[in-house]
Amino acid sequence: MQSRYRDVYESWRDAPEQFWAEAAENLDWFKPAEKVLDESAGVYGRWFVGAETNTCHNCLDRNIAAGRGAQDALIYDSPMTGAKTHFTYDAMLEEVQAIAAVLVNHGISKGDRVIIYMPMIPEAVFSMLACARIGAVHSVVFGGFAAHELATRIDDCQAKAVISASCGLEPGRVVPYKPLLDHAIDLAKTKPNYSFILQRDELHAPLRYEYGDVDLAQAIEAEKLLGADVPCVPVLAADPLYILYTSGTTGEPKGVVRDNGGHMVALHWSMENIFGVKPGEVFWAASDIGWVVGHSYIVYGPLLAGNTTILFEGKPIGTPDAGTYWRVIAEHNVKTLFTAPTAFRAIRRDDPEADFVQKYDLSRFRALYLAGERADTETIKWAERALGVPVIDHWWQTETGWPISANPYGLGLLPVKYGSPAVCMPGYAVEVLDDEGHPVADGTLGNIVVKLPLPPGALVTFWNADERFRTSCLEEFPGYYKTSDAGLIDEDGYLFVMARTDDIINCAGHRLSTGAMEEVLATHPDVAECAVVGIADSLKGQVPCGFLVLKKGVSRDQAIVSREIIQLIRDEIGPVAAFKNVMIVERLPKTRSGKILRGTMQKIADGLPWKMPATIDDPAILDEITAVLQQHGMAETA
């Protein structure tokens, strides 16, 4: 099939407001927009000004009215507990209305902020939609987040209530949430009026009724008995739907604000046109609701588009094995999977020959999308061979909320260029500039920026911090949004995202991409995962240091592997890279969403002060990294 991408992209370039106005016609509006785009409103402009709508209505009520009430809306699959539960659109509406009634009856109303601090369970999704239904602004914080970090978020948004659970589940352990929440509330200056606690069978938590604790399950059941019927509260398209906190460069959290109108238009458009899923089909984003992927493509995108979404409480390996993803795809007829490259690197490390794939019928599976970390070529090729479907790298950010660059299955796939997330999506005019703000030639490394205004669905500002948004994202390159990523655009318009701008190292006056080096390292047959960071050097300024995780079963001498790795970089990038430092480690430090903590590793190597990242998956890994660096004389000994 010939791709329609070029025609669709040009139609957006020719008439952007008309393009998005037509996309908006597929959704319900209580009041139409007075203006599709008002560039004088907000920090850089606002979409669908004057329109009134409700995101929960468009996710649930609209689909039920269209005859989807008996279709599965959400499938909860938890290898942690063995639970598998299907919720139709009708059943989901009942659950959402019950939680909405609980909130309303406890004084939560339009504009109030509600923190959701929960594991990957259905009630977390229902709570998000319940907030949207009554016009409250939700802020999901990853379950099990440290108390201090949770407290800063409670204070920043001045949360009126918290919805939480007694515990979360990790392989081999139960994580008590209630003590963390209690400590966070004790630390916070803002004291929420209520904490709604869902008791899980694995661990019951004592409730502090004097602090406003409410047993959520009992409250929900009471509302169901009363036949809770909570109408959707009309909100302005420009009103905030949610705040999602992401750590800033200063260490202070920044609250990305997503509006209602533009958000639902962009996500609805993306489901069919980018990911290629039709209403009624099953879509699975193997992420967490604490991250933007969970917001956009576990909850809102699939439900807006009338899909069935999967809520998975498990891991790509160890719950119980490296075949769990294939089991979910086969069992629930998943058409498209979206996950992080890190998940596939873990699967590949445990099952290098893809033996588990043969155990399941994946004949109805159509496409795999990867994002969140650089998708190295070797991992993509491994997945292509193992699954026999298109494996599509794409790129976006918490701030944008949906893909900036992708190979759009729904518009017809374009030729693949390994190492590139392909082309810019409608809404995004992406350019590459030098540090002085001048456009660079095709194929030249520079700063990736997006011409303003940002499209519907992108952040509108930071919570209560317009000026911080301007200074950190808009001021350095006037007229553009700074992505803080570095890369290049080739002569065919394909974007190559090479590294965060902080990860471009200056080695003896040469600007080198750590991402390009990682691409080379990943081609070595013994390497399962890798990360390259720039470390201080008195002569050259910075030199690259490679951290390698080897595949299971590799028994070759590590010194030989290291020499081969150094030669690979010399052959592919050249002596200018000055690549001589190789650290073989058991595992790499990552956030819970799978991003490698390169900045922290660099600080440890350089002997600089650092603090434990709030989102780290396992703090003990940093001790392991420090020990390896000390063995090589590259970190201070305690």
pLDDT at residue number 481: 98
Of 498 and 102, the structure prediction assigns the larger pLDDT to: 102
What per-residue confidence (pLDDT) applies to 253?
A: 77
Unique residue bearing structure tokens 């009708």: 90
Mind listing the pLDDT tens digit for each residue in 508-522? 656 677 877 888 899
Q: Which domains does the chain have, with CATH numbers?
A: 5-314+394-486 (3.40.50.12780), 508-631 (3.30.300.30)
Over the stretch 39-48, which tens digit does the pLDDT of each residue have? 999 999 999 9
For every residue of 197-260, which 3-state class applies, written as one string? EECECCECCCCCHHHCEEEHHHHHHHHHHCCCCCCCCCEECCCEEEEEEEECCCCCEEEEEEEC
pLDDT in tens, 448-488: 999 999 999 999 999 999 999 999 999 999 999 999 999 99
pLDDT tens digit string along 366-406? 999 999 877 889 999 999 999 999 999 999 999 999 999 99
Residue 444 CA to residue 447 CA, distance in Å, equals 10
CB-based burial label for 547 (10 Å; 0-12, 13-18, 19+) = buried
- What percent of the chain stands above pLDDT 90? 80
For the stretch 211-229, pLDDT in tens is 999 999 999 999 999 999 9
Residue 511 is predicted with a pLDDT of 63
Contact 267, 55 (CB under 8 A): no
Q: What is the mean pLDDT of residues 67-85?
A: 98
For the stretch 515-564, pLDDT in tens is 778 888 999 999 999 999 988 887 777 888 999 999 988 989 999 999 99
Q: Which of 395, 422, 428, 409 is nearest to 292 (CA)?
A: 395
Task: Please list, in sequence order, all residues whose beta carbon lies within 8 angstroms of the beta carbon of residue 222, skipping any fewer than 6 positions away.
Answer: none
Spatial contact of 488 and 443, defined as CB atoms under 8 Å apart: yes
CA–CA distance, 556 with 535 (Å, rounded to integer): 27
Asked whether the CA dihedral 628, 629, 630, 635 is positive or negative, the reply is: negative
Backbone dihedral region of 456: left (phi > 0), alpha (psi from -120 to 50 degrees) or beta? beta
* pLDDT: which is higher, 87 or 573: 87
Judged on CB neighbours under 10 Å (0-12, 13-18, 19+), 258 is buried
Nearest alpha carbon to residue 614 among 585, 633, 593: 593
Contact 432, 487 (CB under 8 A): yes
- Each residue's pLDDT tens digit, 342-372: 899 899 999 999 999 999 999 999 999 999 8
Give the pLDDT band of residue 571 (cuts 50, 70, 90): confident
The mean pLDDT of 414-438, rounded to a whole number, is 96
Phi, psi of 620 (to 5 degrees): -65, -25
Residue 185 has pLDDT above 50, yes or no: yes
Residue-level pLDDT at 500: 73
Please report which confidence band the pLDDT of residue 250 belongs to, taking 50, 70 and 90 as the band edges: very low
| 232-249 pLDDT, tens digit each | 999 999 999 999 998 644
Q: Strand order of the sheet with strand 391-393? A: 83-88, 72-78, 308-312, 282-285, 334-339, 367-370, 391-393
Query: Is residue 305 within 8 Å of 65, Cβ to Cβ?
Result: no
For the chain, count helices (H), then strands (E). Answer: 20, 32
User: How is residue 474 annotated by DSSP?
Assistant: I
Give the single-character DSSP code of 631: H
Q: Output the pLDDT for position 104.
A: 98
Q: What is the pTM of this model?
A: 0.86
Whole-number average pLDDT of the chain: 93
The residue with greater pLDDT, 610 or 123, is: 123
Mean pLDDT value of segment 326-343: 96
Give the C-alpha separation, 127 to 399, whole Å.
22
In terms of Cα–Cα distance, which of 444, 421, 436, 529 is closest to 476? Answer: 436
The Cα–Cα gap between 458 and 397 comes to 9
482 neighbors 449 (Cβ within 8 angstroms): yes
Distance CA(96)–CA(88), nearest Å, equals 12
